[in-house]
């Protein structure tokens, strides 16, 4: 039996009172009002309503060590990334590794593997496989339905997956950036219950009015809190908080869901509405086995210094203290790495593209903190067989190639990435996680790609002479190293990227989304340049 004293925050009934919480056999057995001396605050633990653990670049048991420091007791996790590489084996890997840590991880069934039929992936989860997975007790929901055209235009395979989720009584998560009007109405009517891809307040409100819950996202790359935070007070029952994608250095230095709570406090959001979005709403929506701070509940709660600074002092999960005053009280568990990576090294000729003076080409444009890209037409000139604008107008060559076979290399161009020298490459490239690279010259691009191929995945930065890398031996997505070590290596890569000219806060995270063919407007996949608005391939060159 353990007793915790302080200011007890009753989120459900919107009140705070002094007292003590008694925990026995993993549950809260009593909550008593009492005049105690302790000035700390005891409240339900935080829940990330949507994230991809793979994006932390560490395995679930290592991620858990970082998450509990931030007061996170549970995560709603979509293993979509590793499923695209490893299929069901990848999903099982995540579940088994997560079980070796106390953090409560609730995994869903990826609905779109591959995300579109327009790219190469390592696996396919068709409707029959999805149906089998949804019957499992360790898989809790149908994860984000990215193929919104398939929903709207009645794709048979898409609707079979939706119907399976309904048959087994499991929630369906959404993913429909920019969808509106009749198409949005039809999407929501398919029993899709959430969306974490709202970029504007107006878009979010339109989805709430159709019965959808809005997940306010603040991750390492996509950041929508500033645009959406007013929803927390205006629609307190219809919003949750999530990170979607977080890198380890952000988890260590800035926080997890706790950082979003602190942002809300600074904006003057009602504290009970804010805590409801971070705790009760996801627990109730997904029917999670996480305590809400009541007698008889699982003892999943946190202790903070106060409700303004919101510094986490202790994290308790199922009655066990797992984080206490700066110390994590459990270890990560190493696993034998699983992977699928079958690409041979490439040559300089694979990167060539024939362009002539006067040609007009499509160029991808990026913005800091946004997954949405633009596109522009650029007329080129040539000087001694070299495209004159590359590096001068912040237009760089971008390359995507399959990691699963030796298919031809695809070449495009991108603006606003900012490199002035060298190149970067990654095998973290949503959603199929093929090889993606951006660079100033072909020699540097070639060198970083071939280093990445030698490592069987990871992050690489450098030039034609030398490179620095972070190998990701688990599916080319995650390292078996601890979170702190990965964060330190990753920070050094970011520092090198900054020294090479980019001003992007998270250049590798931004890079990872440049081949995501379900986020508008223009992307480059391993089969070519893709216009998401048209949902079709387009030529690099535009005919006059």
Predicted local distance difference test score (pLDDT) of residue 24: 96
Cβ atoms within 10 A of the Cβ of 209, count?
Answer: 12
Say if residue 286 is in the same domain as residue 400. no
pLDDT at 249: 92
Question: In 404-414, which positions are buried (b, 16+ CB within 10 angstroms) versus exposed (e)?
Answer: beeeebbbbbb
Picking from 326, 356, 376, the residue at the C-terminal end of a domain is 326
* 524 exposure class (CB count in 10 Å sphere: 0-12, 13-18, 19+): buried
The encoded tokens of residue 22 equal: 């008694």
* Whether residues 317 and 374 fall in one domain: no
Residue 263 lies in a domain: yes
Identify the domain containing residue 434 by its residue range: 348-542
CATH code, domain carrying 128: 3.20.20.140
Residues of the chain with pLDDT under 70: 369, 384-386, 388-389, 391, 544
Which of 267, 294, 326 marks a domain boundary?
326
Query: Do residues 373 and 314 both lie within one domain?
Result: no
Q: What is the pLDDT of residue 385?
A: 64
Token pair for 152: 């709207």
CA angle 344, 345, 349 (to 5 degrees): 120
pLDDT tens-digit readout, 368-402: 767 789 999 998 887 766 676 676 788 999 999 99
Q: Which of 399, 371, 393, 408 is nearest to 532 (CA)?
A: 371
- Domain total of the chain: 2
Same domain, 241 and 363: no
Are 278 and 387 in a shared domain? no
Say if residues 27 and 299 touch (Cβ distance below 8 Å): yes
My answer on whether 434 and 382 are in the same domain is yes
Domain end (from 295, 326, 357): 326
Residues 118 and 253 in one domain: yes
pTM: 0.92
89 occurs within a structural domain: yes
Burial of 510 from C-beta contacts in 10 A (0-12 / 13-18 / 19+): buried
Q: 284 and 353 share a domain?
A: no
Q: In terms of domains, do 261 and 385 share one?
A: no
Residue 3: inside a domain, yes or no? no
- What gap in Å lies between CA 227 and CA 343, rounded to an integer? 41
| Domain co-membership, 120 together with 231 | yes
The encoded tokens of residue 487 equal: 């964060």
d(CA 442, CA 250): 32
Rounding to the nearest 10 degrees, give the CA dihedral for residues 507, 511, 513, 519.
90
User: Is the link from the previous residue into 114 a cis peptide, with omega within 30 of 0?
Assistant: yes
Spatial separation of the C-alpha atoms in residues 421 and 167, rounded to whole Å: 54
pLDDT tens figures, 400-419: 999 999 999 999 999 999 99
339 in a structural domain: no
Does 34 reside within a domain? no
27 part of a folded domain: no
Q: At what angle do helices 156-167 and 127-134 cross, to 10 degrees?
A: 10
Question: Quick one: 227 and 179 in the same domain?
Answer: yes
Residues 314 and 408 reside in one and the same domain: no
């Amino acid at each position: 039996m353990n007793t915790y004293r302080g200011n007890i925050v009753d989120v459900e009934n919107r009140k705070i009172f002094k007292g003590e919480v008694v925990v026995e056999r993993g549950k809260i057995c009593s909550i008593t009002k009492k005049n105690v001396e302790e000035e700390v605050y005891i409240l339900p633990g935080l829940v990330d309503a949507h994230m991809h653990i793979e994006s932390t670049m560490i395995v679930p048991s290592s991620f858990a060590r970082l998450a509990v420091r931030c007061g996170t007791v549970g995560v709603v996790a979509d293993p979509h990334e590793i499923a695209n590489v490893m299929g069901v084996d990848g999903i099982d890997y995540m579940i088994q590794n997560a079980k070796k840590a106390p953090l409560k991880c609730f995994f869903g069934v990826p609905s779109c593997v591959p995300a579109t039929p327009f790219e190469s992936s390592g696996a396919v989860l068709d409707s029959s496989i999805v149906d089998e997975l949804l019957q499992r007790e360790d898989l809790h929901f149908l994860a984000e339905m990215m193929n919104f055209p398939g929903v709207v235009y009645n794709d048979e395979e898409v609707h079979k997956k939706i119907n399976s989720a309904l048959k087994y009584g499991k929630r369906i998560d959404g993913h429909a950036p920019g969808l509106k009007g009749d198409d949005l109405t039809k999407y929501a009517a398919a029993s899709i219950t959430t969306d974490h891809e709202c970029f504007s307040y107006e878009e979010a409100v339109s989805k709430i009015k159709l019965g959808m819950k809005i997940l306010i996202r603040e991750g390492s790359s996509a950041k929508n809190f500033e645009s959406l935070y007013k929803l927390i007070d205006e629609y307190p029952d219809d919003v949750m908080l999530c990170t979607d994608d977080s890198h380890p250095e952000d988890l260590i230095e800035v926080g997890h869901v706790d950082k979003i709570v602190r942002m809300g406090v600074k904006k003057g959001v009602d504290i009970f509405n804010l805590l409801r979005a971070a705790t009760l709403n996801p627990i109730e929506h997904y029917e999670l086995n996480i305590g809400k701070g009541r007698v008889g509940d699982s003892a999943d709660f946190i202790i903070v210094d106060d409700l303004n600074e919101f510094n986490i002092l202790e994290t308790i999960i199922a009655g066990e203290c797992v984080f206490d005053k700066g110390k994590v009280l459990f270890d990560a568990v190493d696993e034998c790495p699983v992977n699928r990576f079958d690409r041979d090294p490439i040559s300089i000729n694979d990167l060539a593209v024939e362009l002539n003076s006067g040609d007009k080409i499509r160029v991808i444009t990026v913005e800091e903190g946004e997954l949405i890209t633009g596109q522009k037409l650029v007329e080129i000139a040539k000087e001694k067989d070299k495209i004159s604008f590359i590096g001068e107008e912040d237009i760089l060559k971008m390359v995507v190639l399959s990691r699963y076979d030796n298919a031809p290399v695809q070449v495009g161009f991108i603006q606003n990435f900012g490199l002035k020298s060298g190149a970067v490459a990654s095998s973290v490239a949503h959603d199929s996680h093929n090889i993606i690279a951006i660079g100033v010259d072909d020699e540097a691009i070639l060198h970083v790609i071939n280093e990445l191929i030698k490592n069987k995945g990871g992050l690489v930065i450098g030039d034609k002479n030398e490179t620095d890398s972070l190998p990701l031996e688990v599916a080319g997505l995650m390292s078996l190293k601890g979170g702190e070590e990965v964060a330190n290596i990753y920070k050094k890569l970011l520092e090198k990227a900054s020294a090479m000219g980019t001003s992007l806060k998270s250049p590798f995270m931004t890079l990872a989304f440049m081949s995501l063919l379900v986020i508008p407007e223009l992307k480059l996949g391993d089969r070519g340049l893709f216009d998401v608005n048209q949902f079709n391939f387009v030529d690099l060159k535009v005919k006059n």
